[in-house]
Chains A and B, each alone.
Chain A
Amino acid sequence: MFLQKVYVLDMRAQQLLRPLACRSLATSHPRAEIKAAAEEEFRTLEIGRKKRERFTAKTFKPATMLPPRYKQQKTDQDWGSVWPAARTFHPATVPFPVRQGYPASGQPTPDKWANAELMKIPNFLHLTPPVIKRQCEALKKFCTPWPAGLETTAKQEKHFPVTVSKSSYLHSSPTIRDPKARIVTLKVHLRSLDLDYHGRDKLLRLVGERYDADTDCLTLVADRCPLSQQNYDYCQYLLTVLYNESMKTEPWEHEKELVDLEKYVWEGSPSQAAAQNVVTARGINDAEELLKEYGQVVTDLHNEGEDEATVLRYQESVMKLLGLTDPQDTATASEPKYIQGEVC
């Protein structure tokens, strides 16, 4: 009853009236006290921060994107118009799924969207077969027919043995020129040149690494002059000089020694002398074929390179020479007897 009659007179006065110890503990918010008084309940003691409203981060919705272009492409569209020239790979324009790259663990191969590897590499989407066909048709009116009599590669090589190639460059920059345009390459097969054994050997020694034994092709590259015409003339001159020098035999060439020989020659070698000794010691009269075969085998061993096969042939030939060719026939021997020790 007493409590019911307490009115709020002055907040500050009320606060002063309360004992000091209670002041800090009690809520001093006027609204709380009004509430409590109005509702006639106990005052609530709130300890701790008040819960604030949680602000959710602003979600930035992207602007409504258009669907990728390929969704609007028809299946029978003219691809040459879509991709007319070489361009970097563009995933939205390419209508098929393609994957490239090393997959991260547990992930599939990266797809075409934002795929740097697909964008880095050159693509040939501008050169599909129908486009090529169309371009060829367009170029045909500028072409003359292929000359008759040059149908096969053999005929072309026979009539035109020398191939000269050069590259042209065009820049879209303040300077349109490129210094690489002066380089001229001349290729010719040695079989097209009319050289004898000595000539061929001399030519090969002169040109060195410019000859490729696998393709039998001599390649001369000239870039020492500023103009390609000059380099072309120089290539012609080089070929002429090489050929003519190879056909000549200089007086000092007779000083060629054993170590200078380009391949192994069995006749006159210590190997022949040794084999002859063996044959004489064994007293074989008709040893021509034996020696010839032996010489051939030794020559092959040196010229073709040494490997297991040539060494085996050498072994067999020496066995014949020394007269030891009764094979023990160990290959067909019976299975060796075991006392014990079979595989379990």
Chain B
Amino acid sequence: MAPSARRAVLLLRGLAGRHGGCGAALGQRCVSAEAAQAPPPRPRAPRTSLTSPVEHTAEQRGLWYTLQPGVVQRLFSQGGVPKQFLTQCQTFAETCLMVRQPSLTLMDFIRRSDLSLPPNKFLLYGRNGCGKTLSLTGSSSTSPGPRSGGGTSRRWLPSATIEGQYDHPLDAVLWLQHFKTQNAELLKTLQLVTQERYIWSRREVTEPDTPLGELVELGIGRARYSTDCVLALTSELKRHATEGRCKVAVVVDGINTFYSPVSRYRCEDRTLLDPKYFTLFQSFMQLFKSDWKNGIVVGSIDSLANEGWRRDSHLPRYLLRQQGWEALDPFIPIPIEDYDDLEMRSAIDYYLDRHWLQNPQAGSDIGRRELAALSAHNPYLLMQVCRPL
């Protein structure tokens, strides 16, 4: 290890004394012991006052923006955000995200998309911990629209209405509740109504021209029909969007779960169930087709959303498999990289500003270099490394 790096390690661990035991051991003169004594002044986090990602430009790259509490509540009650990030936001008493190049590119693409054409598909991909989910969170904080997480369904049932398919009642109810939190006002203002007649049972029927909000309520109330409600809802939204009454943004984290050939469930004959028979999956997958307008599909391709044996690469074609590729092609893949120097500096400044990094040398040049080396410029690893400091 280089002498300066070794000294940095010892400084951060608090082992180096005034005259530096390590310096004597290496046979070097202790360089600037007095400078190491006085910790650098605590910097303030580089922030921007523009709270909406729509307004961000390249000038805001590396700055932190705060999400409004209403938006926070709307997004985070869904649970598509990593739990560690939620706890961190609680600790910091604010929800801040860094403006990074991929989200700028994404917003730019969305702005320039021609909504009269079939929906453009933008998929974020990158190695683990680079910030795909949080980039999605940031971009979806601007746009209301249905948003679904990766498949961690718990219970499944054979479908009530469609032969040979399977329902996920609890998950559908949860999803409908989140949809309601996100979009209830919008549904009311736009006054979207059903256009078809839905017969749930002999006594339960949804007539045409019922507000979609009621359909959502029905699904939440009646778990038995919740999956079919989701299917009906997505079909209706698609139809409304095609007819120009609303704009729909579909944000999916871990879009490759839809195209996995096996699920965690077994049939009675002990064979693993193929997810293509899940009604819930089908209701979202119909939104990825190119037969509607006024919409955008934004997703992230996560290697952790695949099974354990199919995670060798983080690249989209490998993770999506042939089925996913054929369904989503052509899409624009947006790579998400690790932090570069600017973003690393900004992230460490933010942690220092929030008093998260307690070690006085964390803000020094050597300390920053050590943090960058330990985390390999990976955002997730940086968070983990900074936890005990």
Contacts and interface: CB of A to CB of B under 8 A. Distances in A.
A281 B118 contact: yes
A295 B313 CA distance: 23
Contacts of A330: 58, 61, 101, 104-105
A314 B44 contact: no
Contacts of A275: 329-330
A253 interface: no
A278 B117 CA distance: 8
A151 interface: no
A221 interface: no
A342 B120 CA distance: 39
A338 B353 CA distance: 14
A271 B330 contact: yes
A301 B332 contact: no
Interface stretch (B82-90, B228-236, B360-368): B360-368
A170 interface: no
Contacts of B154: none
B334 to A, nearest CB: 8
A210 to B, nearest CB: 27
A217 interface: no
B43 A318 contact: no
Contacts of B335: 308, 311-312
B368 A343 contact: yes
A307 B315 contact: yes
Interface size for chain B: under 10, 10 to 19, 20 to 34, or 35 or more residues?
35 or more
Given A306-B317, A306-B318, A314-B333, A340 B58 contact: no
Contact of B40 (A281, A302, A326, A344): A344
Contacts of A323: 114
Contacts, number: 117
Interface stretch (B176-184, B263-271, B341-349): B341-349
Contacts of A339: 44, 46-47, 63
Interface string A211-226: 0000000000000000
Contacts of A277: 118, 290
A294 interface: yes
B326 A271 contact: yes
Interface in A264-282: 269-271, 274-275, 277-278, 281-282
A337 B313 contact: no
A343 B345 contact: yes
A92 to B, nearest CB: 43
A322 B115 CA distance: 11
Contacts of A235: none
A336 interface: yes
B332 A311 contact: no
B329 A270 contact: yes
Contacts of A343: 345, 365, 368
Contacts of B44: 339-341
A338 B44 CA distance: 10
B326 to A, nearest CB: 4
A172 interface: no
A319 B109 CA distance: 9
Nearest to B342: A336
Interface in A304-334: 306-308, 311-312, 314-315, 318-319, 321-324, 326, 328, 330, 333-334
Contacts of A324: 109, 112-113, 120, 332
Interface in A219-241: none
Nearest to A338: B46
Interface in B21-48: 40-41, 43-47
B145 interface: no
Nearest to B105: A328
Band of interface residues on A: 35 or more
A321 to B, nearest CB: 6
B329 A271 contact: yes
B59 A333 contact: yes
Given A277-B290, A306-B315, A321 B46 contact: no
Contacts of A326: 112
A311 B61 contact: no
Contact of B59 (A306, A334, A341): A334
Nearest to B43: A341
Interface in A249-273: 269-271
Most chain A CB inside 10 Å of its own CB: which residue of B58, B113, B335, B368: B58
B333 A315 contact: yes
A344 B126 CA distance: 31
Interface string B60-96: 1111000000000000000000000000000000000
A324 B331 CA distance: 12
A277 B112 CA distance: 20
A196 B295 CA distance: 48
A336 B315 contact: no
Nearest to B349: A341
B104 A328 contact: yes
A321 B117 CA distance: 12
B316 A311 contact: yes
B108 interface: yes
Nearest to B363: A344
A302 B290 CA distance: 23
A339 B365 CA distance: 19
A337 B316 contact: no
Most B-side CB within 10 Å, residue of A315, A338, A342: A338
B252 to A, nearest CB: 18
Contacts of A294: 330
A315 B123 CA distance: 10
Nearest to A314: B333
A312 B125 CA distance: 12
Interface in B126-145: none
A294 B332 CA distance: 13
Q: Kindly list the 6 A-B residue pairs having the minimum CB-CB distance in the complex, ordered from nearest.
A: A333-B58, A341-B349, A341-B43, A344-B40, A340-B44, A270-B326
14 contacts: A271-B329, A277-B118, A281-B290, A311-B315, A311-B317, A322-B330, A324-B112, A328-B105, A338-B46, A338-B62, A338-B63, A341-B349, A344-B40, A344-B363
Interface of A: 269-271, 274-275, 277-278, 281-282, 294, 298, 301-302, 306-308, 311-312, 314-315, 318-319, 321-324, 326, 328, 330, 333-334, 336-344
Given A324-B113, A324-B332, 20 more contacts: A270-B326, A275-B329, A278-B118, A278-B290, A282-B117, A298-B329, A306-B317, A311-B333, A312-B335, A314-B333, A315-B332, A318-B332, A322-B113, A323-B114, A328-B105, A328-B108, A338-B46, A341-B43, A341-B46, A341-B345
